[in-house]
Structure 1
Amino acid sequence: MSLSDLVLPVFAPDGPLARVRPDLRSRPGQAAMALAVAQAINARESLVVEAGTGIGKTFAYLVPALLSGERVLISTATKTLQDQLLTRDLPLLQQALALPLRVAALKGRANYLCLYRLEQARRDGEGHDEAVAHDLACVERWAQSTRSGDLAEVPGLDEYSAAWRQVTSTVDNCLGSGCPRLRQCHVYRARHDAQAADVLIINHHLFFADLGAQGAGAAQLLPDTGVVVFDEAHRLAETAAQFLGTHVSTSQLLQLGQDVVAAGARHARGAADWQGLLQHLRQCAHALRLAVAPGEAADAAGSRIAWTGVTPEALDASAWDGALEGVVAALRAVLAALDGVAQHAPDLAHLHSRTVALLERVLHFCSSAEAGTVRWVESAGALRMVETPLDVAGALRTLWKGKPPTEGAWDESDEPPAASAPRSWIYTSATLGDGKDLRWFTDACGLEGARTLQVPSPFDYARQAALYVPPALPLPSDAGHSVQLARWVGDAVARLGGHTLVLTTSLRALAVIADELCRRFAPGGGIEVLVQGHASRSRMVERFRAQLDASGRPAGHVLVGAASFWEGIDVPGEALQMVVIDKLPFPAPGDPWEQAQARRLADQGGNVFRRHALPSAAVALKQGAGRLIRNENDHGILVIADTRLLHKGYGKPLLRALPPMRRLHTQEEFGAALDALTRTSTRGSPSP
């Protein structure tokens, strides 16, 4: 019996899934996707699937993957999706299919307790404030009983807590085989469990980080893996580029200095002026920041300053060069101090190697960028110098063809080893482009010629949702757009009683809209404003979903977010009834990466807008709109506060990219739709 013959009965109305979950609906699109995945696994080929919201794509790829008998690696976009697969989806399928599989999840090392660093935090006792001391005490109590070491298990511990950073390791500060707590290391234990698993769940960042470093994670697991699935694959090329490039930040410099002071005080007190070395590094990092004058060069697109020559654009060359030379001198001073004591302790030996590596990266930025790369400086928060490749398709193409070359996963100079075992690669997301050929995704990822499939959403958008473009608002280019939009949203939110997600295309717009809404809705008034950055994303989404305020009292919410809030937010039911997008999400034209991409495409003779800007905007718009309708009972309104959608030629393809929602043409129609949502429970309510 073929794999396809095994897969299809699972999704039947009286099949195994229906027996363990009678509430699950049989969806033709889900079965079609599962059949395509089964065929790809049998043929050992690549399959790209754009699966509309509500298809049930997770089960559509899991069922054939699990029934194939192959070792399966699943890479997701977020830790939240990892946890969902591990604790909800896979246990249900194991029960339904009666499969005794070993399942493991592997996260980045920053998620796991480092016992050695916990000891140092306890021993150093650097005058922790009350909140940090409380969090450290919670971690210590939990550490006595945990097996996984996953800090997400610690009750009440926020991932933004300073205590979290103190008790976890990074690639830079991990002592590796020299660590005295290596035998009890939670990271190594998690990697050991991963190597023994039949099904392993990781995330995209970990996948590419491990391949780039030839670490003990994905790089070692791939040779024995028959099926690799990338869920939420639309940002795959972007994620790969992060790990193919180079970056240095002032926070890395300061963290190195702090670790040198701590290790020097413990193992080599008096051997050097450790505190003076830290102070020197701080001064040089500060000088580097002062050399970057935020202004016209650092725009709202993320405070990125283009760097096409030896010096970043619009900066004083002598000030920048002098500051960079100062950083080099400070690192060499640290290195000289560690030279004489590195043999005294593993901490010091590791810090010596770490300083050498950081110095090499800084020196890299003292010369011009390599061909085929784009370089910039980020001045928001810690200053970062970044260099990344413009095109990762070639490197990814090498990876998909077989096992990465032993000399480095990203070496494109040679073909993959002939002995590499073929495997199936499955790539899926709700948004993979703006056309039926999905070339926006396949070209960027080196997947030319891969089989593609588009499965539309089963939701009845014409009945469940409406689209409104407010005609009275000014164009986004108007300086008053964000303020006027915030006031307009405030009126709608007051009428609806909350239940609103506002998605912005920039942090500047987020700040303006959030400030205006916070002034409009005072605490305790029944509507609470949640703003990105004021708490962890997961905590804000939990409050939004539960419709409770910070005190646990019932409240409607308006959540204002940018960037990551455009995707991965799942709030079904009445808690979310309106999504507002401030403007069409075209790539920022002043962004250095976008400018370099435009030059590259222009040199190739391509239409930059059609080949890059328009499909990128379509994907982002589809992601944002996808937050609104999450199940068959949801109803809501999508507001796009940008009249260019209706009056510009490019508006038509963007409208076609959206789900087929009913159009609202006037403010009166919009008001009636709001009233329809407030009069009746969303469940079973008429269309807005």
Structure 2
Amino acid sequence: MRVTLTDCLAQFPHRAIRPEQQELLAAITATPESITIEGPTGLGKTDVAMSVLRARAATVAQELRDRQATNPAARPHPRWYCTPTKNEVEQIQHRFPEVRVIYGRNEYPCAYYHARGMPLAADAVPCATLRKQHCCPHAIVPETGLPEDPHAEPCAYLAAKHAAKSGGIVVTTTAFFLTSSLLARDWETPDTVVMDEADQLADIASQLFATHITDSALLQILALLERINDAHHADLFRTFLDILQRHTSRTPGESKILEPTQTIALIQLLERAHYPHLHERIQTAMRSGVLDPVQQQSELRILEDLTRNILRYLRHLRFAVGDADRGPRNLAFAYAVRERADGTMVCRLVIEPYLVNGLIRAAVGDHVLAMSATIGDGTYFGYETGLTAPVYRVARSPFPIHHRRIYLPIDTPDLAHRAQERNTLRDAVIRILDCCAKFRARGHRALIVTMSNAERDHFVRRAPDAGLTLISYGNGVTARNALERFVQGEGDVLVGTSAQFATGIDLPKQIAPIIVALRPKYSNPHDPRAQFEELQRLSKGKRFARERYRATKNALQVSGRNWRTPESVGITIFYSRQFRDLFPQGLPRWLEPAYVSTRTLDQIVEEACVLLDAAPDLPIAASST
């Protein structure tokens, strides 16, 4: 990583360093370019990473002086620390006040509209259009860092961006880093990138670079194009809307991959769009008063998005067709869903990358420190993220491993859909709730994680029969609201899907010392990605191996929600027999001593209660024999 161990130790944020942290720094500094670290929660990976970024400061400063000797306008190459959530960014900023923090536009108010009595976030306004028209006095001049009107309040987003570009360590969300690097492209190439929670990187990138187009948005665009007398583009998008609506299945939620002929038809339509012509129409409408930046703020925002995204739509659709050298790299599919209040259907076209490894590689540069507790198989991690550096695996957890259990019961059924009989799921739900009732009788609460909302609904309906107060979301209650209520002590059991509760939540201090994972997270064979793989004739063996890797990673993420401090006791019961395809081979080295696979479910409940009642004073050695 182009730093020495001595330099990193000098920059370590604490007077004392633990042996395992020094081992990590030794491994990092011995690696010339990039490295991936798999290490458990509590290891102090953030302190290690910050010492590396701090140690690069002197070298970066000298490189900048050398570049400014020939180019006075040169800016420093940023050192990035990226993490998935804003909450994690704030935690790092609190511990390291010297860092520069930057978020996406949605986290900043727009000074232009606030001054006009419209409290809007910066991502909800036609910012680029206002700046091109020189309407916004709050915009920051890059050379000075001051607003265009020295007496105006500076734009909060652009001011934060200017400060972040001025040097130092930049801490941000993974999504902002990827967007800035690959879409905005107005930052210097990174000097060093730390990618925390790197196991989530591919999922974040896939969501970020997916394009969504709805029929309701197209109808708004049509109305606006007619309003500014742009008949040419109105005809184009009317045809686009017709293709989307004709292709979309009327069955709610059923996705259909676009046929190549349909994708080509959309490409040919967008190739007839003329960005300069559309842009000039918008400028003319603003000058003539047809579009007022205050009265028609939302309309201008829609048109601005359209002019900026036409080329993006076109590029993504071309990747969905492929060329003579390579097959399709994107998948384009459509589905209908009831999103409107009156129950009518919304048709949605989605164009998403099948793989994001190339995009991630292009963003992160040559010097990357990736960190996670759940890297798993390095080959598949590299295939999904593009980060193919050597993986250094930590062998021991800093938390007492006798406070952790990974249970696979010997008397539970296979909950794969193909293996279920009529009442298999019902019986599993009843049995799990009975176990939770036994835990609650001993004063312990639980988190149950399902793979589908239908499974979650089974638990919601049957919890009262087990005498349990169950907390979940739906009917106006968000997943975050449900979690907050549970953390504050309400309810006996929290139930939710993996999509809501596998990552991003902490349940320390015995809030929910028991987690029950119903079954592994395998893809639906009818979802668009599976359809795409079938159409591309991808090997079933390779497809299943990748599915197993993703399912293992998801299961470990679920399992880690309640083991967040040295005092925590974390017990996970992987219920379905399917989990035996994943474990123990998928366990990190430091978690292997916690694996128990020879108990019945009743024995597990009794053993777990003994552990919970005794902790932290009575260590009980885990054993699979």
Please state which band the TM-score falls in when normalised by the shorter chain: 0.7 to 0.9
Aligned residue for 1:384? 348
For residue 311 of structure 1, report the CA deviation from its aligned partner.
Answer: 4.7
Aligned residue for 1:230? 195
Aligned in 2, Cα 1:229/1:592: closer, same or farther, shift over 3 Å? same
Aligned residue for 2:108? 112
Task: For residue 123 of structure 2, give the secondary structure of its aligned residue in structure 1.
Answer: coil
Aligned residue for 2:213? 248
For residue 55 of structure 1, report the CA deviation from its aligned partner.
Answer: 1.8
In the alignment, structure 1 residue 3 sits paired with structure 2 residue 16: no
- Encode CA deviations 1:150-177: one digit per residue, 9 max, x unaligned: xxxxxxxxxxxxxxxx544248765452
2:80–2:194 contact (8 Å) kept in structure 1: yes
TM-score normalised by the chain length of structure 1: 0.67
- Encode CA deviations 1:72-128: one digit per residue, 9 max, x unaligned: 2111122221121112x324xxxxxxxxxx3121111112222344466x46xxxxx
Instruction: Quote the Cα distance in structure 1 between the aligned partners of 2:209 and 2:414.
Output: 41
Task: For residue 585 of structure 2, give the secondary structure of its aligned residue in structure 1.
Answer: helix
Aligned residue for 1:503? 449
Aligned in 2, Cα 1:678/1:471: closer, same or farther, shift over 3 Å? same
1:393–1:444 contact (8 Å) kept in structure 2: yes
Aligned in 2, Cα 1:2/1:188: closer, same or farther, shift over 3 Å? closer
In the alignment, structure 1 residue 208 sits paired with structure 2 residue 178: yes
Q: Which runs of 5+ in 1 are unaligned?
A: 19-25, 92-101, 124-139, 141-165, 265-269, 313-320, 403-423, 550-554
- Encode CA deviations 1:585-620: one digit per residue, 9 max, x unaligned: 2233322224434666836xx831464122222211
- Encode CA deviations 1:196-251: one digit per residue, 9 max, x unaligned: 341111122111212222344xxx143xx432111111232343445555442346
For residue 577 of structure 1, report the CA deviation from its aligned partner.
Answer: 0.8
Task: For residue 472 of structure 2, give the secondary structure of its aligned residue in structure 1.
Answer: strand
In the alignment, structure 1 residue 83 sits paired with structure 2 residue 90: yes
Aligned residue for 2:285? 341
Instruction: Quote the Cα distance in structure 2 between the aligned partners of 1:668 and 1:430.
Output: 30
Task: For residue 569 of structure 1, give the secondary structure of its aligned residue in structure 2.
Answer: coil
Aligned residue for 2:494? 558
1:335–1:355 contact (8 Å) kept in structure 2: no
In the alignment, structure 1 residue 672 sits paired with structure 2 residue 606: yes
In the alignment, structure 1 residue 433 sits paired with structure 2 residue 403: no
Aligned in 2, Cα 1:537/1:306: closer, same or farther, shift over 3 Å? same
TM-score normalised by the chain length of structure 2: 0.73
Instruction: Quote the Cα distance in structure 2 between the aligned partners of 1:114 and 1:482.
Output: 50
- Encode CA deviations 1:26-76: one digit per residue, 9 max, x unaligned: 643332212223344xx3x11111112332211121123223325521111
Aligned residue for 1:310? 261
Say which of 382, 388, 392 aligns to 1:453. Answer: 392
Aligned residue for 1:617? 551
Instruction: Quote the Cα distance in structure 2 between the aligned partners of 1:352 and 1:2.
Output: 48
For residue 540 of structure 1, report the CA deviation from its aligned partner.
Answer: 4.1
Aligned residue for 2:404? 464
Instruction: Quote the Cα distance in structure 1 between the aligned partners of 2:475 and 2:11.
Output: 43
Instruction: Quote the Cα distance in structure 2 between the aligned partners of 1:243 and 1:636.
Output: 32
1:499–1:556 contact (8 Å) kept in structure 2: yes
The one-letter amino acid of 2:501's match is: F
1:400–1:425 contact (8 Å) kept in structure 2: yes
Aligned in 2, Cα 1:245/1:633: closer, same or farther, shift over 3 Å? closer
1:676–1:686 contact (8 Å) kept in structure 2: no
Instruction: Quote the Cα distance in structure 2 between the aligned partners of 1:445 and 1:668.
Output: 41
Aligned in 2, Cα 1:9/1:189: closer, same or farther, shift over 3 Å? closer
1:375–1:388 contact (8 Å) kept in structure 2: yes
Aligned in 2, Cα 1:496/1:377: closer, same or farther, shift over 3 Å? same
Aligned in 2, Cα 1:385/1:677: closer, same or farther, shift over 3 Å? same
Instruction: Quote the Cα distance in structure 2 between the aligned partners of 1:474 and 1:397.
Output: 39
1:580–1:638 contact (8 Å) kept in structure 2: yes
1:397–1:447 contact (8 Å) kept in structure 2: yes
For residue 654 of structure 1, report the CA deviation from its aligned partner.
Answer: 4.2
In the alignment, structure 1 residue 569 sits paired with structure 2 residue 496: no
Instruction: Quote the Cα distance in structure 1 between the aligned partners of 2:96 and 2:348.
Output: 39
Q: Which runs of 5+ in 2 are unaligned?
A: 61-77, 140-146, 148-153, 340-345
Aligned residue for 1:38? 29
Aligned residue for 2:518? 582
For residue 484 of structure 1, report the CA deviation from its aligned partner.
Answer: 3.4
Aligned residue for 1:158? none
Task: For residue 607 of structure 1, give the secondary structure of its aligned residue in structure 2.
Answer: helix
Aligned residue for 1:58? 46
Aligned residue for 1:413? none
Instruction: Quote the Cα distance in structure 2 between the aligned partners of 1:677 and 1:562.
Output: 26
Aligned residue for 1:417? none
Instruction: Quote the Cα distance in structure 1 between the aligned partners of 2:36 and 2:448.
Output: 31
1:112–1:186 contact (8 Å) kept in structure 2: yes
Aligned in 2, Cα 1:635/1:613: closer, same or farther, shift over 3 Å? same
Q: Across the two proteins, how many residue pairs are aligned to each other? A: 550
Instruction: Quote the Cα distance in structure 1 between the aligned partners of 2:564 and 2:9.
Output: 25
Task: For residue 341 of structure 1, give the secondary structure of its aligned residue in structure 2.
Answer: helix
The aligned runs of 1:357-396 (5 Å cut-off) are: 357=308, 369-370=321-322, 371-373=327-329, 374-380=331-337, 381=339, 383-396=347-360
The one-letter amino acid of 2:374's match is: T
1:464–1:635 contact (8 Å) kept in structure 2: yes
Aligned in 2, Cα 1:502/1:171: closer, same or farther, shift over 3 Å? farther
Greater Cα offset, 665-674 or 350-359:
350-359
Aligned residue for 1:16? 14
Instruction: Quote the Cα distance in structure 2 between the aligned partners of 1:212 and 1:540.
Output: 36
Instruction: Quote the Cα distance in structure 1 between the aligned partners of 2:101 and 2:449.
Output: 31
Greater Cα offset, 384-393 or 572-581:
384-393
Aligned in 2, Cα 1:363/1:630: closer, same or farther, shift over 3 Å? closer
1:503–1:581 contact (8 Å) kept in structure 2: yes
Instruction: Quote the Cα distance in structure 1 between the aligned partners of 2:542 and 2:616.
Output: 44
Aligned residue for 2:75? none
For residue 355 of structure 1, report the CA deviation from its aligned partner.
Answer: 3.7
2:126–2:304 contact (8 Å) kept in structure 1: no
Instruction: Quote the Cα distance in structure 1 between the aligned partners of 2:506 and 2:512.
Output: 9
1:587–1:616 contact (8 Å) kept in structure 2: no
For residue 185 of structure 1, report the CA deviation from its aligned partner.
Answer: 1.8
Superposed CA RMSD: 4.6
In the alignment, structure 1 residue 543 sits paired with structure 2 residue 543: no
2:79–2:169 contact (8 Å) kept in structure 1: yes
Instruction: Quote the Cα distance in structure 2 between the aligned partners of 1:78 and 1:533.
Output: 26
Instruction: Quote the Cα distance in structure 1 between the aligned partners of 2:305 and 2:386.
Output: 34
1:342–1:352 contact (8 Å) kept in structure 2: no
Instruction: Quote the Cα distance in structure 2 between the aligned partners of 1:214 and 1:339.
Output: 22
In the alignment, structure 1 residue 653 sits paired with structure 2 residue 607: no
Aligned residue for 1:626? 560
Aligned residue for 1:196? 166
Instruction: Quote the Cα distance in structure 1 between the aligned partners of 2:617 and 2:348.
Output: 51
For residue 307 of structure 1, report the CA deviation from its aligned partner.
Answer: 2.7
2:80–2:172 contact (8 Å) kept in structure 1: yes
Say which of 566, 569, 573 aligns to 1:635. Answer: 569
Greater Cα offset, 450-459 or 654-663:
654-663
For residue 453 of structure 1, report the CA deviation from its aligned partner.
Answer: 0.8
Greater Cα offset, 249-258 or 572-581:
249-258
The aligned runs of 1:286-305 (5 Å cut-off) are: 292-293=248-249, 295=251, 304-305=255-256
